[in-house]
Amino acid sequence: MSPLHTRCLLTIVCEALLEPRVEADLTRLGAQGWTATPVRGRGDHGSREGHWENDGNVRLEVVCSHELAERIATHLHERYYSNYAMVCWLAEVKVLRPEKF
């Protein structure tokens, strides 16, 4: 098996209507790609069931360097945390092709 390389998985869960804006931020900050999934759940902003347009959440997952993940997380914190339903977390992951991330 090829050697595994360490990268950072940044997971963002936020109001679905922020998706295009957060994705634009990810591109601008240098993320090479991400995966978006519609999700539902409960948090400080109450229950978000996700079955109509003003009630959905989205989960964005980005695998990148630890340094970039921290930069993105700091930006999200400053830009969105005070007014929007958003959480994000970082985790260490192993990848096969480090050049993709």
Q: If we measure between CA atoms, which residue out of 52, 71, 61 comes closest to residue 93?
A: 61
Site stretch for another protein (CB under 8 A), options 27-35, 48-56, 57-65, 88-96: 48-56
Site stretch for another protein (CB under 8 A), options 27-35, 52-60, 65-73, 86-94: 52-60
Q: Can you tell me which of 1, 2, 3, 52 binds another protein, judged by CB under 8 A? A: 52
The whole-angstrom separation of Cα 50 and Cα 39 is 7
The two structure tokens encoding residue 81 = 């945390």
Q: Can you tell me which of 25, 29, 36, 50 binds another protein, judged by CB under 8 A? A: 50
Classify 46 as helix, strand or coil.
strand
Q: If we measure between CA atoms, which residue out of 54, 57, 51 comes closest to residue 38?
A: 57
Residues that bind another protein (CB under 8 A): 15, 17, 21, 38, 46-47, 49-56, 82-84
